[in-house]
Amino acid sequence: MPDTSILHDVLTATAYAKLNLALHVTGQRADGYHLLDTLVAFADYGDELSVSIAEQDSFTLSGRFGAGLPVNSDNLVLRARDLLRARFPQHSTPVAIHLEKRLPVASGIGGGSSDAATVLALLLKLWNIQPEQALLEQICLQLGADVPMCLHGQLHGGALIAKGIGEELQTLSALPVLPLVLVNDGTTISTPQIFKHLRKRDNPALPDIRTRHSQTNLCDYLKTTRNDLFQPAAEIAPQLPQIVKLLQDSGAEYAQMSGSGATCFGIYATLSEAQQAAEQLQQQNPHWFICASTTLPLKA
């Protein structure tokens, strides 16, 4: 289960930011879903969620990016609660849920999906539910293609390869923890909009990663990969290549856009270098979201 704190019957957890270190689009299904081959890690930073037993259901929001988010069933947090409750009504009491939104919205780092996955993990603990894995995967996919990998990150940390539409997961046990900087200039990009701009959908899969144990080897590996959504995103947000260059110029060993954008990341030799780069970039761009962190290690 996730790392949680229990204070006066309140469960809390971080909904970690999801990073697509590489993202290859390898096909498209008849139902319109795109097939992916993506290397995913999770930053040790994200939204903060809390759940507690209450007399009646409630949902509250705070945080830098909380304003304007829906507080009804359009919010993935409440959809996750309601889907789990529908499956296990005999175990589900009313709950108070609070979301501190610290990640930018619609920014390619799985904020909403990670929120939904984290609420699922917290409510499973709070309601003392132990569903079969197949049912849990089904609930995740009903919420969105990124939710299974976000739940995997919440429960296990580390890195993974996701294939299919995102539901075929393979844990990677030997990847190093990476110091990194996340940058988002405030641009929001719709994922469906990006895929409409995608011209080629049958791209090659990821190269084999099994022997990439050091950070230098991993960065060399990443330089042989792509984010197939970067070019379509740059057509909509033409400043994105410049943001990647800013990260490179600040000392990143490797920089790329995550997911469908517009958040970009840079990998640095040390956390100290990442923190220094983040401070300098923030001084130059005071209104941007900029965060130094590391990727999550694989949980024991």
Q: Would you please indicate which residues are annotated as catalytic (active-site) residues?
A: 18, 146
Sign of the CA dihedral running 149, 153, 155, 156: positive
Q: Are the beta carbons of 38 and 20 closer than 8 angstroms? A: yes
Taking a C-beta distance cutoff of 8 angstroms, is the pair 59, 97 a contact?
yes
Two structure tokens written together for 37: 């081959």
**Cα-atom radius of gyration of the chain, to the nearest Å?**
19
Q: Cα separations (Å) of 170 from 18, 43, 175?
A: 15, 18, 13
SS3 229: coil
Amino acid at 182: L
Cβ atoms of 278 and 266 within 8 Å: the answer is no
Q: Find the helix or strand (DSSP H, E) in which 281 lies.
A: helix 271-284
Q: List b or e across 175-213, with b for residues whose CB sees 16 or more CB atoms inside 10 angstroms.
A: bbbbbbbbbbbebebebeebbeebeeeeeeebeebeebe
**φ, ψ for residue 187, nearest 5 deg:** -75, 130
